[in-house]
Structure 1
Amino acid sequence: MRRVELDPSTVVLLLTAAALAGWVDAVVGGGGLLLLPVLLVAVPGMPPATALGTNKLTAIAGTSVAAVTYARRTRIDWAVAGPAGALAVVFAGLGAALAGAVPPSAYRPVVLVVLLSVALFVVLRPRLGVSAVPRRRTRVRVVVAVLVAGVGVALYDGLIGPGTGTFLVVAFTALVGADFVHGSAMAKVVNAGTNAGALVVFAVFGHVWWVLGAAMAVCNIVGAMVGARMALRRGAGFVRVVLLVVVLALVARLGYDQWLAR
């Protein structure tokens, strides 16, 4: 991308936003909801594709560290997270390659409906994710979870991005009966894969601001470490509350975008 000069206050704003996004991502996903708008507003000369690519460079650092933190402190269901993460690299890359060909107006209403459905699902099922339900983890459900996470959600992440971790957490709790903490742990593994696949494609097309992205990645890692440890310490109830807040914030943001697009 062409060179854009940033004043110190803008740099501080971006680094702070990256740290907060890392915290949100580590707990329940959705850090892009915070960081992408800040990038686009704080750096008006940055093309949307470059904002997406730079965000992926930042996010992959935080999600990878969060995944390691979870793996060290709790059990990850690798039979689900492993294959889903591998598929996610491929399909997120495909989504990123198609990102420029899909206008926001085509997907925004669909995503809004899905997010509202997620919010209602979580609200109307207060026990969802509070504790694990091992009987849900059948062979068929494992396959479905792998395909939903590694193909469907990964494509979405490459195409759009914000809310990916949230969708993954809900998928793992609803489909294979994980509690929110373990669902978030699996989500971090898959999210690292989606970020990696999309980042490669954005990098090939020159849509990554490497210096800025690397600086934000350091702050994102700090936020991710704090967020993952807080989620593990405070448990599924805490993660559920953050999940609802993030989903409602996503609905508000996309609803506002849809209203502006009218």
Structure 2
Amino acid sequence: MDSSTTLILCAFSFLAGFVDAIIGGGGLIQTPAILFTLPQYPVPTLIASTKIPSLAGSLMGAFQYSRRVVVIGRFIAPMMAIAFAASWLGSLTLTRVPNSFMKPVALVILVAVFIYTLIKKEFGQVTQQYVSARQQRLRMWTMGACIGFYDGFFGPGTGSFLVLGFITLIGFDFLKASAHAKLVNAATNLASTLFFVNEGKILYAVAFPMALANLSGAFLGARLAILKGNQFIRVFFLLIITATIIRFGWDLIG
């Protein structure tokens, strides 16, 4: 593997980490880049090799947010554990059955999310205090199970789905939702990473340099999101949802 190829992948991984730390969706950048750059390798191996960079970025984003945003620790810790187990199960299921049927479902959901966010200007701008502690716990744990499985089984858009869930189901604003989403996403990425390490499918020669680049991008992205606040994150959210819709739509047409 020549150095120029590694540098190209690191550049895309940096951008992926930056975007993912703000609102999720870094996989839309990182995954196509490695698939296009290293076509001589099996697709499962390339997907597996993006898990370590994604994990590094998620951990950095989670650390940056947790220092500045209050996290509901008594609920988020069990949610992370549930998401971890669900992600592992999703990765295991991926090795057994095809996941192509997930794209049409995800596309419909994302189009609806885009329209709703565009119309509802106040969506995610303030924290809504209407969800009881019992309901928060139940909804967060259910969301951890569903989206955790989705991340292990399919993946793209996981961070954005987590942010959406925290806003619509729990009542968080964008900033608080992003902070909690990064913690859960770190758990799902860790599960997938451990699974694929155990399967021996990771190209460490590119995974580790990409991890450093992703971590650096996540550091800057999280700091910028915290500095700029909810309106900035909302714009990024719409951009990433649009990119995800285009990507899924192109895959279905193709």
Q: TM-score, with normalisation over the residues of structure 2?
A: 0.96
Q: 1:102 to 1:123 in 2, by over 3 A?
A: farther
What does residue 128 of structure 1 align with?
A: 123
In 2, Cα distance between equivalents of 1:138 and 1:128:
21
1:150-165 correspondence to structure 2 within 5 Å: 150-165=144-159
CA contact (8 A) 2:76 2:140 kept: no
Structure 1 residues 57-66 or 93-102, which shifts more?
A: 93-102
Q: Which structure 1 segments of 5+ residues have no match?
A: 1-5
In 1, Cα distance between equivalents of 2:250 and 2:96:
22
| Aligned counterpart in structure 1 of residue 216 of structure 2, from 208, 222, 233 | 222
Deviation at 1:153, TM superposition (A): 0.6
Determine what percentage of the aligned residue pairs are the same residue.
Answer: 35
Deviation at 1:99, TM superposition (A): 1.1
What does residue 36 of structure 1 align with?
A: 31
Q: TM-score, with normalisation over the residues of structure 1?
A: 0.93
What does residue 11 of structure 1 align with?
A: 6
Tell me the amino acid that sits aligned with residue 61 of structure 1.
A
Are positions 1:103 and 2:98 aligned together?
yes
CA contact (8 A) 1:67 1:188 kept: yes
Structure 1 residues 153-162 or 225-234, which shifts more?
A: 153-162
Are positions 1:235 and 2:229 aligned together?
yes
| Aligned counterpart in structure 2 of residue 88 of structure 1, from 77, 83, 89 | 83
What does residue 192 of structure 1 align with?
A: 186
Deviation at 1:127, TM superposition (A): 0.7
In 2, Cα distance between equivalents of 1:106 and 1:181:
32
In 1, Cα distance between equivalents of 2:174 and 2:18:
16
Deviation at 1:161, TM superposition (A): 1.2
In 1, Cα distance between equivalents of 2:117 and 2:13:
27
In 1, Cα distance between equivalents of 2:19 and 2:89:
26
Deviation at 1:84, TM superposition (A): 1.3
Tell me the amino acid that sits aligned with residue 115 of structure 1.
L
In 2, Cα distance between equivalents of 1:256 and 1:227:
27
Q: CA RMSD in A?
A: 1.3
Query: Number of matched residues?
Result: 254
Residues 166-201 of structure 1, C-alpha deviation per residue, up to 9 Å, x if partnerless?
Answer: 000010011111110010000000000000111111
